[in-house]
Amino acid sequence: MIKLKNIKKVFRTDMVETTALGGINMEVKDGEFVAIMGPSGCGKSTLLNILGLLDNPTEGEYWLDNVEVGKLKERQRTLTRRGQIGFVFQSFNLIDELTVEQNIELPLKYLGVPAAERKERVEEIMRRMAISHRAQHYPQQLSGGQQQRVAIARAVVVKPKLVLADEPTGNLDTKNGREVMELLSQLNAEGTTVVMVTHSQRDAAYATRTINLLDGMVVEKTQL
Amino acid sequence: MSSLFYLARRFKTATALNLFGLTVAFAAFYLFMTQVLYNAGYNRGIPDAERLFRVEAKMNLDAPWDVNCNRPVLEMMMQLPEVEAGTIVPRWGWMQEVYQGETPVECAAAKIHGESSLLPFGAECLDGKLTWEAPAEGVIIPSSLAKRFFDTTMAAGRYLRVGEDSVRVMGVYRDFPENCFLMNAIYSSMGEENHNNYSEWSYNGYLLLHAAVDAEAFRAEFKERVKATFRKVVMAEQADEYDKLNAEERAEWDQQIEDYFGRLDFRLTPLTETYFSGVNPSDTGNRTVHLILIWACVVILLVAAINFLNFTLAESPMRVRGVNTRRVLGEQASTLRLNLIAETVATALSAFILSLGVIYLLSQWPAIAELFSSDISLVNHLPLVGWTAAIAVLIGITAGTYPAFFVTSFQPALALKGSFGLTPKGRQLRTALVALQVFISLILVIYIGILYLQSHFIYHSDYGFDKDELLYSQLSDELKGKKDAVRAELMQMGGVEDVAYSNVVLGSQPKYMGWGRGDGDKAVSFTCFPVDWRYLRTMGIKIIEGRDFNEHDSDCYIINRAARERWSWVEMDKELTNGDLPVVGVCENMRYGSVHQDRAADPVAFVILGERYKDWGDRLDILNVRLARNSNKVELRHQIEDKLREMGDGSEVGVRFLDQQLENLYQEEFRFIHQVLLFSVICLIITLIGVFCLTLFETEYRRKEIGIRKVFGSTEEEILLLLSRRYVAIILGCFVLAAPIAWYIGHQWLQSFAERTSIHWWLFPVALAAVSFITLATVCIQGWRAATENPVNSIKTE
């Protein structure tokens, strides 16, 4: 599903040039659950942003479902992302003035799904995530675990092939963290490819494979 | 203060625009207030102005009030016991050429009642004396003129050179203030002229009442008091004859006085109110205009204050964390609030100081100085400067108080955690303020449209004559003696269609010579224009009944439609009234006076002065030239000037376009229109700055949301639509409220014009489109930056 060839990412300012990724080569197959680990500043989030088409690499090739997407323009990246990739963030990134239901509905709207179908799919995913009773609440009215469940519901409501999770349990307690990881595992078991960035060995244990990064390079691959 | 500077650096454009808006508002407030103070203070600089009254009269009860009266009746009024002093000034002043060395200087000159002179107006005598025992004693001059010509105010006994003559300076009076009706002129005594002439209504009277007099009661019975005095004076003058009359004849004599006064009316108008009365051409004040200017001052400050409040409100969420960190470190909330308020006061005062610089620069700019009848220099309005500074402080306090309390209203521990830019309460308040700004913008844009329509209407509506094709010139005595030759020469020029002569330039002044004729039911008063027989065709004035003048006509009238409709008895080629001249035709009404007074509906008569007025001499010294529609008018004007110079004494001859003259006539109207236009544009700019700043903050606060939406598949266009949709709703809501209010304000303003444009329906959608375009363009420009930003950066924002 994903194939990276010598991906480099360099951030430049007037004064400094920082190499975040120094030439990444990796592959993720359909249905895999891959954990990316490494110390702070090693390039994990940068790699995830490139995988999620939120950013372009400076150099290299990124093949997603056999299409080279590394050099797409902003608009093409957006259209490619729609319905294909779901995101889960450490800080949830829910929209404060939208209700739980509206937050989950958002990607469906951008995908052009008719209103009746949207309603059905949102209700279904809320039931699955056990947050139906919170449908009309605003994010500030929810606990961290509930917010992350909403975020996961929003990520998967369009039934994407790929879910990218950036430290999904970073802001959660152990119990809630475990629940979130089980949800992601369940999704993976149902066929969704998951790529997760994490610091946590415990969370990484849910993955089928771990990629270790150090200073912008893949240093070791471990097959579990 | 450091966090203020940090935010100022972070939002350079918004901060600069906000400061600019406040600066412009303070400068505009000052400028408009100078005009308001000028209007309100008109004539009030004259000593005892509250006891001074102008005599106003009606020659016929159906005639409008006028300032003209006859001299004997005015002198009777001056004898009333309630009157402390009074004076009489002939209706007409003139420009006098006084020589300074070999250079002629045009000075205003007028006659005045010799014994009373300027004394009722509290004129201060600086040298010599101000009242005459005989006209030959000389003239009195203002101190400014004395200084100019003699370099001293002690100029009594010295001589002014007027043409070939020398005129003795009898006295020097201190200049009257600029904003009063009194001219700082060279005054000479009117001597005994028309001393006993009851039919020459060409004098203006002013009365100073005793301090103890109940002015209102005296004004109420003024006409009766004048009548009683008139009866007493006339009876005393004709005592011998009256004694010989029997009872029946005495009753008849009494009835004659009753009849005479039955047709007349008199009243006293306080000098402090004449400016707004519009009775005299010099009463150029307009109360509606005055009130609009006062409202303009209030609105401009209100708009600026709202803007500033918006700005401080919009940036306050960004200060929550910084301010509350200080609280965590031990600072008192009250101290922090005071600091925050001090910051906004300092910002407002900075804008005030900048505005002083702007005012100074503007006062050096002739175009701006011309826009106001008042002096706009700072040194002459120090109290106003002080008030503006006080208002700046007040605005600073107002704009700082709520945000100061808002920022310090959170528990410090909570405040350190999150973003407060999108708290529902803050969002609602900002939305309400944006709505208020848009609401004001819409009213202003519609109002500007109405101003423009009226301005266009004044310029381009039908005047009843072909103003765009006409030139005129004042003939010198030498050219006046060669009128036929001048006409023959000009008619040979290609492009000159006709030439005619008249007594005055139509449209050059608000008021013209008034004639009163007839008596009883056929007593008429009208504006009279002596002309030659070619005049109406030259001017393009249409004949609607009877015929135009021809070369054989003499001592006859052509009256206008308004006169024809008012005087139902008029027949063609019959006398206008008993013993008067015949009417040969009726012409269409013309607009020839102020746009505020419906002069077009006043009776007018064009007259060819013949045998009956031979004592008047040749009064037709205005040359009127009609040019072909497609001729090169500028070139022709130069050719005519050259020809007239050649045929005259070789000196320069000024030939002017009539339409430019009309623009001068409506100078006050255009000045006001330009003032309001300036005010509206300033308000609009300030308001748009407000909208710009708010959208800037709004998009800043929504950066993260925009980022999240983009991550989940939103395109830039969809983001812009999202941002704009809210503003579209605000604009439409505001339009529903603003349109009727703007219509009402514009309608009220138009009521002050005798002839006015209609408020076209299309003005409203155009205004809506304009405000929508500007607001949405602002939103989109701001939104585009956020929409095209990499969402990775946006979602990191906290």
pLDDT digits (tens, 9 = 90+) for A91-138: 888 887 789 999 999 889 888 899 999 999 999 999 988 899 999 998
Is B713 in Cβ contact with A81 (below 8 Å)? yes
pLDDT digits (tens, 9 = 90+) for B285-317: 777 778 878 888 888 888 888 888 888 887 777
DSSP letters along B445-460, please? HHHHHHHHHHHHHHHH
Contacts of A74 in chain B (CB under 8 A): 716, 788
Give the pLDDT of residue B798. Answer: 45
pLDDT digits (tens, 9 = 90+) for B143-176: 999 999 999 999 999 999 886 788 999 999 999 9
Contacts of A97 in chain B (CB under 8 A): 422, 424, 427, 705
* Exposed/middle/buried for residue A44 (C-beta within 10 Å: 0-12, 13-18, 19+): buried
Tell me which of B1 and B329 has the higher pLDDT: B329
Is A97 in Cβ contact with B709 (below 8 Å)? no
Angstroms from A78 CA to nearest CA on chain B: 5
Per DSSP bridges, beta strands B514-517 and B524-530 are antiparallel
Angstroms from A224 CA to nearest CA on chain B: 31
The model's pTM = 0.67
The closest CB to that of A93, out of B422, B790, B795, belongs to: B795
Number of residues that this document lists for chain A? 224
**CB hemisphere CA count around A122 (13 angstroms):** 25
Distance CA B299, CA B83 (A): 44
Angstroms from B771 CA to nearest CA on chain A: 28
Is A110 in Cβ contact with B718 (below 8 Å)? yes
Q: Say how many C-beta atoms besides its own lie within 10 A of residue B617's C-beta.
A: 8
Give residue ranges of B with CB < 8 Å to any A CB: 422, 424, 427, 704-705, 707-716, 718, 788, 790-792, 795, 798
Give the pLDDT of residue A222. Answer: 47
Element (H, E) at A144: helix A144-156
Least confident of B33-42, B576-585, B682-691: B682-691
Give the pLDDT of residue A81. Answer: 84
Q: In what order do the strands lie in the sheet with A217-223?
A: A85-88, A162-166, A193-197, A33-37, A209-214, A217-223
The closest CB to that of A110, out of B424, B705, B712, belongs to: B712
pLDDT digits (tens, 9 = 90+) for B629-686: 888 888 899 999 888 888 887 777 778 888 877 776 676 677 777 777 787 788 778 8
CA-wise closest residue to B559 among B504, B462, B568: B568
Q: Is A106 on the interface with B (CB under 8 A)?
A: yes
Coil, helix or strand at residue B377: coil
State mean pLDDT over B383-406.
92
Distance CA A33, CA A1 (A): 12
CA-wise closest residue to B597 among B283, B204, B290, B292: B283
What phi-psi label fits residue B173: left (phi over 0), alpha (psi between -120 and 50 degrees) or beta? beta
**CB hemisphere CA count around B792 (13 angstroms):** 15
Beta bridge partners of B626: B470, B498
State mean pLDDT over A158-175.
88
Place B564 in a pLDDT band, splitting at 50, 70 and 90: very high
Q: At what angle are helices B667-701 and B424-460 packed, to 10 degrees?
A: 160
Q: Is A82 on the interface with B (CB under 8 A)?
A: yes
pLDDT digits (tens, 9 = 90+) for B329-352: 667 778 888 988 998 899 999 999
pLDDT of residue B282 exceeding 90:
no
State mean pLDDT over B530-536.
94
Give the pLDDT of residue A136. Answer: 92
Angstroms from B794 CA to nearest CA on chain A: 11
pLDDT digits (tens, 9 = 90+) for B203-215: 999 999 999 999 9
* Exposed/middle/buried for residue B316 (C-beta within 10 Å: 0-12, 13-18, 19+): buried
Distance CA B94, CA B88 (A): 16
pLDDT digits (tens, 9 = 90+) for B98-114: 887 777 788 888 999 99
Residue type, B313: L
The closest CB to that of B713, out of A74, A95, A110, belongs to: A110
Preferred mutation among B417, B708, B712 to probe A, highest tally of A CBs within 10 A: B712
Contacts of B713 in chain A (CB under 8 A): 78-79, 81-83, 107, 110-111
Give the pLDDT of residue B793. Answer: 74
Q: Is A138 on the interface with B (CB under 8 A)?
A: no
Is B704 in Cβ contact with A74 (below 8 Å)? no
Distance CA B23, CA B377 (A): 17
Distance CA A209, CA B312 (A): 53
Q: Cβ neighbours of residue B302 under 8 Å, at least 6 residues apart?
A: none
Task: Report long-range pairs for B721-726 (Cβ below 8 Å, ≥24 apart).
Answer: B723/B695, B723/B698, B723/B699, B723/B779, B723/B780, B723/B782, B723/B783, B723/B787, B724/B776, B724/B779, B724/B780, B724/B783, B726/B431
Per DSSP, B66 falls in state B
Preferred mutation among B428, B703, B710, B711 to probe A, highest tally of A CBs within 10 A: B711
Give the pLDDT of residue B395. Answer: 93
Give the pLDDT of residue B604. Answer: 92
Give the pLDDT of residue B2. Answer: 53
Residue with tokens 């929003």: A154
Least confident of A181-195, A204-218, B745-759, B783-797: B783-797
Place A206 in a pLDDT band, splitting at 50, 70 and 90: very high
Mean pLDDT rounded to a whole number for chain B: 84
Element (H, E) at B323: helix B287-328
pLDDT of residue B413 exceeding 60:
no
The closest CB to that of A89, out of B709, B710, B795, belongs to: B795
Distance CA B221, CA B110 (A): 32
Q: Between the ranges B86-90, B275-279, B781-785, where is the mean pLDDT highest? A: B86-90
CA trace torsion B207, B213, B219, B224 (10° rounding) = -90
Distance CA B725, CA B728 (A): 5
pLDDT digits (tens, 9 = 90+) for B605-627: 999 998 888 877 788 889 999 99
Distance CA B563, CA B581 (A): 15
Place A223 in a pLDDT band, splitting at 50, 70 and 90: very low
Preferred mutation among A72, A74, A99, A166 to probe B, highest tally of B CBs within 10 A: A74
Give the pLDDT of residue B307. Answer: 82
Contacts of B718 in chain A (CB under 8 A): 110
Contacts of B798 in chain A (CB under 8 A): 91
Give the pLDDT of residue B706. Answer: 86
